[in-house]
Copies of this chain bind each other. A is one copy, B any other.
Amino acid sequence: MPVTSDELNLIARTVRTLSMDIVQKANSGHPGIALGCADIAAVLWAKIMNYNCEDTAWINRDRFILSSGHGSALLYSILHLSGYSIPMDELKRFRQLGSLTPGHPEFKHTPGVETTTGPLGQGFANAVGMALAEKLLADEFGDIIDHCIYSLAGDGCMMEGLASEAASLAGHLGLGNLICIYDSNRITIEGSTDLAFSENVKMRFESYNWHVQEIDGHNYAEIENAILEAQRKKDRPSLIIAHTVIAKGSANMEGNEESHGAPLGESEVKASKEKLGCNGDVSFDVPKEVYEIFNRVRSEKKSIYDSWKERYNSIIQGSVKDRWNKYFNKPDIEGLRAMFPKFDKGSKTATRAASGKVIEVLYNELPNFIGGSADLAPSNKTMVKNISESGKGKWGRIIHYGVRENAMGSIQNGIAYYGGFINFSATFFVFMDYMRPAVRIAALSKLQSIYVFTHDSIFVGEDGPTHQPVEHLAVSRAIPNLHVIRPCDAEETCEAWLSALSRDDGPTLLALSRQNLPVIERNNCSAKDLHKGGYIIHDYDTCDFVILSSGSEVHISIEAVKRIFNETGIKGRVVSFPCLELFDKQNESYKKDVLGIDKKTVVVEAGIKMGWEKYAGIDGLYITIEEFGSSGNESDLAKFFGFTVDNIFKKISEYMKA
């Protein structure tokens, strides 16, 4: 029996009173959106969405992303009511340290929360990524994958350029499984949107090839009908502009921007409950009818789930099952290593080019390997020819993100949240700046997003300082839980990819060279030692000093050390140090063996020294670059900034005399 309008009303009223109480008890939070969007939430959870609280990882569940992440009280309330494992006690611990109900939704932390949101626009773009993932999976496995992605976004999300980029790409791709409900309450923190936001959002989204409807966001029939209409538009994403009143249902705060980010206050909460027909003196009250309605809803949804399971069991069999497992199991790292290209010692190849060869293998060996560049694929070496495209529509396994780094990062996270795929994005390292918000969230949400960032130093060359990263290694290493790997040659590049592929608790950034680098002759070590983060790549029986180096500076460090030994007899060790985070995870004795004890230490890296002092200390010698780069050719830049064998030889000779 479908949920009636009166029942929706009861659900929405309960979401409102519960949200008010949650925020009031925490004395912190955002009641305005929770009251304003309670009606939308009631329709979504009671009528529209397919989900199973007992199997929250069900691959064919509808996804809901709260792009307006500050509306967490709304989300936790409706998840609680609809049967997710969020006990009432946890609602009472809203925003407290260690609770299930943090201030903004956190992925893998709270049942039913699909993505980490809060920074505006992220969720909107995550939803685009999920919609693309759904399309690709459906292309592969047919209609056992046939669900929708819903997101709820506010005026703030609409203003973020991130959402504009993602919307443009979603329209281009024709993602008909994507439905965004725009909570248009015309209120932002500084006041009316008239202060800063007067564009025609409907026209804008139509210009992106979206299907757009406008509705009263407090009218259940209009909400439901608009969503059903949007579901029928299979060739385009849908925006439903829901005109809402912030803090709808409150006694005196409707339409007031002060309801956005602060509790309503006890007297207003009481008055609002009474206005809604509830007892103003009772808190955290859920009428038992509401739980009963959702019991009924769940049993209906359970039968949908059960029939899906039957279909799944009949379809995912034999070779299809093998293929399915390729999507949902970890890749075979040893098998991949054996298939990776081999490089002759002493031959020269840019690490971006080596990466390109690895990517070609991955596309061919892993059906669930997808990714793309923000319009730099030929430079990033991610444009692989002749792969078996699994995509049938405009979507394919090679994603053309366009010049949209910011959305690329967040769409990529959406794909990672969705699951089933291994996915990478690519751009010049310096343009990581454009997608930094997404990289940070990937690290926070422990997503396996892989970054192919090429042109990793001033050796970009002629394009000059706007295109030359100097601080980017440091600022990447600064992000907790991000692995930053800067391989020194083609062999380390292969291992760097394997490291990224085997990680399932966070993202990996590959910083790759534009310029050719020699494949290094290794004696007592192997490129596999990359997985230890840092290892001795050149040594003598004893050692008078240690060079720590990464990427394109390793081979010149080795040459300099050889020359120092030949000309002075002083013995230097070179540590190839592709990944500080992996090194820091090694045991103390290994670290001491590599770094030596009380050795004079030199750092050679074409970036700022920040981040290396923890190994080389105050008295270390730093051959680094502490200013912006400059436009010029590679060899002039090397001389000017001191990244030559001559200069390293000279600097170390002086340092050893001091």
Contacts and interface: CB of A to CB of B under 8 A. Distances in A.
Interface of A: 26, 28-29, 69-70, 95-99, 102-104, 106, 116-120, 155-157, 159-165, 168-169, 171-172, 188-190, 193, 195-204, 206-209, 261, 373, 375-379, 383, 400-404, 406-407, 430-431, 433-434, 436-437, 440-441, 443-444, 461-467, 470-471, 474-475, 477-481, 608-611, 613-615, 617-618, 626-628, 630-633, 636-637, 640
A564 B191 CA distance: 49
A220 B519 CA distance: 54
Given A103-B467, A471-B475, A480-B626, 18 more contacts: A95-B464, A97-B637, A116-B466, A118-B467, A119-B433, A119-B434, A119-B467, A120-B403, A162-B434, A168-B199, A190-B378, A197-B402, A198-B209, A203-B207, A433-B437, A470-B480, A471-B480, A475-B475
Nearest to A399: B196
30 contacts: A28-B633, A95-B633, A96-B632, A97-B630, A97-B636, A103-B462, A103-B463, A103-B467, A119-B430, A155-B403, A159-B402, A159-B404, A160-B403, A160-B406, A161-B406, A172-B199, A189-B376, A189-B377, A190-B383, A195-B400, A195-B402, A196-B375, A200-B207, A203-B207, A433-B437, A441-B466, A444-B465, A477-B610, A478-B610, A610-B611
Contacts of A164: 161, 164-165
Given A118-B466, A164-B164, A478-B478, A632 B189 contact: no
Given A116-B466, A161-B161, A480-B626, A103 B199 contact: no
Contacts of A636: 96-97
A206 B156 CA distance: 20
A617 B601 CA distance: 13
From DSSP, what is the main secondary structure of chain A's interface residues? Answer: loop
Nearest to A102: B631
A462 B28 CA distance: 7
A481 B470 CA distance: 12
B155 A161 contact: no
B197 A208 contact: no
Contacts of A373: 190
A497 B480 CA distance: 31
Given A161-B162, A403-B159, A199 B188 contact: no
Contacts of A441: 466
A118 B463 contact: yes
B160 A165 contact: yes
A119 B467 CA distance: 7
Contacts of A120: 403
Contacts of A172: 196-199
- Which 4 residue pairs spanning A and B have beta carbons closest together? A161-B161, A97-B632, A613-B613, A196-B402
A156 B613 contact: no
A176 to B, nearest CB: 15
A197 B207 CA distance: 11
A627 B28 CA distance: 24
Contact of A203 (B203, B400, B474): B203
A439 to B, nearest CB: 9
Contacts of A479: 471
Contacts of A189: 375-379
A119 B432 CA distance: 11
A121 to B, nearest CB: 8
Contacts of A202: 207
B376 A628 contact: no
A433 B436 CA distance: 6
Nearest to A169: B196
A159 B609 CA distance: 35
B466 A375 contact: no
Contacts of A197: 168, 172, 402
A93 B159 CA distance: 43
Contacts of A461: 28
Contacts of A632: 95-98
Nearest to A619: B617
Contacts of A98: 630, 632
A429 to B, nearest CB: 12
A384 to B, nearest CB: 12
Given A159-B402, A610-B610, A462 B379 contact: no
A466 B159 CA distance: 19
A199 to B, nearest CB: 5
Contacts of A436: 433-434, 436
A277 B99 CA distance: 76
B97 A631 contact: yes
Given A433-B437, A467-B118, A96 B633 contact: yes
A377 B466 CA distance: 31
A165 B169 contact: no
A391 to B, nearest CB: 13
Nearest to A608: B478
Nearest to A202: B207
A217 to B, nearest CB: 20
A42 B198 CA distance: 36
B471 A478 contact: yes
